[in-house]
Amino acid sequence: MDGAARSLAVSPISGALGAEVAGVDLAQIDDAAFAAIHDAYLAHQVLVFRDQDLSAESYAAFARRFGTPAEYPFANGLDGSPFITPLIKEAHQISNFGGMWHADTTYKPDPPKAAMLTAIETPPAGGDTVFACQYRAYETLSEGMKRVLAGLRGQSSSAKNASALRTAHLATGTMTAAERPPEVLTAAHPAVRRHPETGRFALYGNRSHTIRFEDMTEGESAGLLEFLFDHQVRPELTARVRWEPGTVVIWDNRCCQHCAINDYDGHRREMWRITLEGEIPEAA
């Protein structure tokens, strides 16, 4: 391990998931330092970096170390950086983007493997993001419930709750709608997925996008889904990240969920998001 990798300090932020990483400039990391960061990412699922000064180019370059950036299907990116989507809530606005528990775009056949945010402007207080560990969500289920979920597949749709929030946010002008956004995207995924890198099992469904189980009606699915949605975000499974300008966070979209807290009316918040192409989820 070289000097840059040895200087990294990884400090967990909760008992369930998440860690802050100190002693690194993300604009100037070598292969050894990235290998240490990637190990920490797989171990903690959410990594927080403070006091970073990244241009759009250096931010995208760091993201590419993890994988291939993917364009967001419903909005355009920055001019010259189409893979960076600005997420802005102006001081006069009430609704926010991402204000429900979700894993990103599970209505796609190959949802993102990871997502990143960097904070450009933040309110003096509030605007935190909460994350929930879906490894532990699965592991804390009874053996009977694990048997019930084995073989089930959840149907996700972009037309569910998050779609309405997205439409409202696009209408404010804080995001630029894609020229030809898809009308509705749908995909079915295992209720329990195997992580392709760690081999661990994670619950894989979410309140924002999952509408029913495959081969069941919405009514038949509702009771079990409601139980799972509540179970997935129990307090002991979560970690809360406070933002300030220069904070960069990457999370593993395959094994955690997140929710943007909307508690900063009267203040402006601007974040830049990058998502990374994923793979078709594998059943546990």
59 touches 31 (CB < 8 A): no
Ramachandran sector of residue 103 (left: φ over 0; alpha: ψ -120 to 50; beta: rest):
beta
Evaluate if residue 172 carries a pLDDT over 70.
no
Q: At residue 90, what is the residue type?
A: E
Evaluate if residue 179 carries a pLDDT over 60.
no
Evaluate if residue 176 carries a pLDDT over 90.
no
Average pLDDT of the chain, as a whole number: 91
d(CA 204, CA 279): 14
C-alpha 124, offset from chain centre: 23
Evaluate if residue 226 carries a pLDDT over 80.
yes
Residue 4 structure tokens: 């840059």
For residues 155-168, average pLDDT: 68
Buried b / exposed e across 262-282, counting CB within 10 Å, b at 16+? bebeebbbbbbbbbbebeebe
Q: How high is the pLDDT of residue 7?
A: 81
- What does the pLDDT look like over 120-154, one tens digit per residue? 999 999 999 999 999 999 999 999 999 999 999 99
Share of the chain above pLDDT 90, in %: 81
For residues 243-267, average pLDDT: 97
78 touches 181 (CB < 8 A): no
Q: How high is the pLDDT of residue 217?
A: 97
- What domains are there in the chain, each with its CATH number? 3-279 (3.60.130.10)
Q: How high is the pLDDT of residue 47?
A: 98
Q: How high is the pLDDT of residue 50?
A: 98
Q: How high is the pLDDT of residue 181?
A: 54
For residues 202-214, average pLDDT: 97
Q: How high is the pLDDT of residue 173?
A: 47
State the angle between helix axes of 31-44 and 56-66 in degrees (0 to 180), rounded to the nearest 10.
70
